[in-house]
Structure 1
Amino acid sequence: MSSLAGRDSLIFQYSSGVTQATETPLKRTPLHAAHLRAGARMVPFGGWEMPVQYAGVRAEHDAVRTRAGVFDVSHMGEFRVQGPDAERFLQHVTTNDVSKLRPGRGQYNWLPNDSGGLVDDIYIYRVGEQEFLMVVNASNVGKDWAHLQSQTAGYDVELTDESDRWGLLAVQGPQAEALLQPHIDVDLAARKKNAFFPAKLFGFDVFLARTGYTGEDGFEIFTDAGEAETVWDKLLAVGFTPAGLGARDTLRLEAGFPLYGHEFADDIHPLASTYSWVVKDKAHLGREHISLAPPVRLIGLALERVPVREGYPVLLKGERVGHVTSGTSSPTLGHPIAMALVRGDASTADAYEVEVRGKAHAARRMELPFYRRA
């Protein structure tokens, strides 16, 4: 982070309001012991105990932007969808065109509800002609599973929750491919964005997906949960820097990627974002509501000094026109940035203000993403 205040506010975002103390113990990923060995600061997140930082958010952020980092994303959920009607079922419950996927390819997609919002935003990988793997957000696993189960009537499809089967590691950064290549049995350069393929990594059977959530090149590594810790240790040994939730948030915000629960939700029209391409011209659940114009728009804001957080009011000429959905101090740009949902009729102004503890601070609109890899 570019300031101590910005770092503290980001950590507060993860350590409060996300998972309150309850009688239900926090879940742990297969890498929990490895995080403790690495000196991670652990925080509650979506019902899980997760690392927010190791050496520090700024150092981990810079490692991903300039070299390569590795994230534990094993808390994400994985559902197997298979059967004669697997494709037809997915066409019904998602907005993107699953029929365009060939085996060995992945696709960003949405699970719409029937009232104009999203149940979740997801990734779908086509394993075979009648088989798919769906990756969902950690905090939505139970909700997504119930939603999908409720839509299976009339489809010859089998759903399997494989969330406990997989360890999931994300390696990201300009050197990610070069660091992996000596230890894997496939030519990574030949695997383009959104490729999904089996491989042997450090002698372990894994699947890799060339996707990511940081604005950098990289791969998600699906490994057996029981082997995840060994794979993690070997990744650190060959030069990957461990990175936590803090850096993951600053990286994704710079890249303009929405986060479910902030920019997307059950009650937020998803076309407020810049992702209209995810909705294809096909029949799907909730189509009549998603086709309506959104009442708000997602915009980018830049400030000079004061970091802002979710919920802070956005003002235009003294009138409240929206609120911040995500904010941080950008390590790459050197100043605070934020995404905000504002009224459609107020979304094209050049200058706004963000209210922080009763004081208005000047903000200028920036096109998303804030950062794009050259």
Structure 2
Amino acid sequence: MKRTKLYNIHKNLNAKIVEFAGFEMPIQYSSIIQEHKAVRHNVGVFDVSHMGEIFIRGKQALDFVQYITVNDASKLFPGRVQYSAMCYEDGGIVDDLLVYKISDEEFLLVINASNILKDFEWMNKNNKFSVEIINRSDDFSLLAVQGPDSLKTIQKIADKEIDLEYYHFTKMKIANVEMIVSRTGYTGELGYELYFEGDEATAEKVWNAVFEAGKEFNIQPVGLGARDTLRLEMGYCLYGNDIDQTTNPLEAGLGWITKLNKSDFVGKDALLKAKENITRKLVAMISEEKTFPRHGYDISANRKKIGHITSGTVSPILDKPIALGFVEKDFSAVGTEVNFVVRGKEFPAKIVKLPFIKK
């Protein structure tokens, strides 16, 4: 079992530690609801150092990234980030990821922790461009500082003014440590992700400096539990729950990142065929009933099963059950009435437009 360089901090904060993607990670410190609301109303900090960082270097770095991802990386410029996905030849999703353009000959791919080795092997297998593919996942710590007061917090310990648009990044010093600072996150709030190298002492120094800077904003440490409820309120997909190798990006609502008009990429032919034959769609659902929708529960309509829930919770902000799930295409329109099937009992729900929380 791996540990991030902030493991001792989490233990000292009496975090509840669980196994996640081969790491011992904090699932919560106080309560999921309290941590969730801290991010929505003030500022919270996640240790997400388990995420993977793969660097692509070489003269054909862009060609390689274009070939293995579904979005159009040619639109990127240094300092720009892009949400994308990688697909197998059959259109199934290898992983969803962030693509950072550092320079014309260097990209950073940030991938899901549970997929690091699989993704790395798959990239190498598809390397027909003689690029360097370097797995630096163990070298980096990654903090996500998220919430309305996130900028005010980290600006206090930054070496220059932070003026980043959404999905842009820069290199700078925070707490006198050189790092990549990007205006990205998984919460739907104003937020920044801090990528930096160094040992446990360096990681703890950055963590402590961020918390000292955020004290006046009632900053809170946030675990993976609230990370999940926050992303679900926004309708963001989680690999392994909502998307995986059995789903394609078109049926999963990721058509907006799937550029079928760009030149050849892995899975393009299968996705062109799939576009003509979509039989199910990933939808967002909300209920007024007292129930708790969970991954794997059936979805029904007219007394028959029409799909299954991929992610579910009770929204801490709305105080209502919310879920993502795949349903037959005929039942996927916004406003369609469906049911969550919980232990054999049907609970009425309705398909709605994302996000659940309107900012």
- 1:256 and 1:371 in contact (8 A); partners too: no
- 2:282 and 2:327 in contact (8 A); partners too: yes
Name the structure 1 match of 2:104: 129
Unpaired segments ≥5 residues, structure 1: 1-25
Q: Distance in 2 between matches of 1:63 and 1:128?
A: 36
Per the TM alignment, residue 265 of structure 1 is displaced from its structure 2 partner at its CA by 0.4
Q: Distance in 2 between matches of 1:333 and 1:225?
A: 40
1:286 matched to 2:267: yes
Unpaired segments ≥5 residues, structure 2: none
Per the TM alignment, residue 117 of structure 1 is displaced from its structure 2 partner at its CA by 1.0
- 2:170 and 2:182 in contact (8 A); partners too: yes
Name the structure 2 match of 1:277: 256
Per the TM alignment, residue 238 of structure 1 is displaced from its structure 2 partner at its CA by 2.0
Matches within 5 A, 1:170-181: 170-181=144-155
Q: Distance in 2 between matches of 1:272 and 1:305?
A: 29
Q: Comparing 348-357 with 104-113, which one deviates more in the overlay?
A: 348-357
Name the structure 1 match of 2:317: 332
Q: Distance in 1 between matches of 2:317 and 2:258?
A: 31
- Secondary structure at 2:3 match in 1: coil
- Secondary structure at 2:322 match in 1: strand
Q: Distance in 1 between matches of 2:198 and 2:299?
A: 44
- Secondary structure at 2:82 match in 1: strand
The residue type paired with residue 245 of structure 2 is: D
1:187 is matched with which residue: 161, 164, 168?
A: 161
1:297 matched to 2:260: no
Q: Distance in 2 between matches of 1:121 and 1:334?
A: 29
The residue type paired with residue 335 of structure 1 is: K
Matches within 5 A, 1:192-203: 192-203=165-176
The residue type paired with residue 239 of structure 2 is: Y
The residue type paired with residue 372 of structure 1 is: K
The residue type paired with residue 283 of structure 2 is: I
- Secondary structure at 2:250 match in 1: helix
Matches within 5 A, 1:132-281: 132-153=107-128, 155-188=129-162, 190-226=163-199, 227-239=202-214, 240-280=219-259, 281=261
- Secondary structure at 1:277 match in 2: helix
- Secondary structure at 1:184 match in 2: coil
The Cα offsets for residues 319-371 of structure 1, whole Å up to 9 and x where unpaired, read as 10000000001011111100110111221262111111111111111211111
The residue type paired with residue 270 of structure 1 is: P
- 2:157 and 2:209 in contact (8 A); partners too: no
Q: Distance in 1 between matches of 2:342 and 2:249?
A: 27
Aligned residues between the structures = 346
Q: Distance in 2 between matches of 1:180 and 1:218?
A: 10
- 1:93 and 1:285 in contact (8 A); partners too: yes
Q: Comparing 79-88 with 353-362, which one deviates more in the overlay?
A: 353-362
The residue type paired with residue 301 of structure 1 is: M
Aligned CA RMSD, in angstroms, stands at 1.1
Name the structure 2 match of 1:112: 87
Name the structure 2 match of 1:12: none
Q: Distance in 2 between matches of 1:300 and 1:268?
A: 16
Per the TM alignment, residue 372 of structure 1 is displaced from its structure 2 partner at its CA by 2.9
Q: Comparing 327-336 with 237-246, which one deviates more in the overlay?
A: 237-246
How does the TM-score come out when normalised to structure 1? 0.91
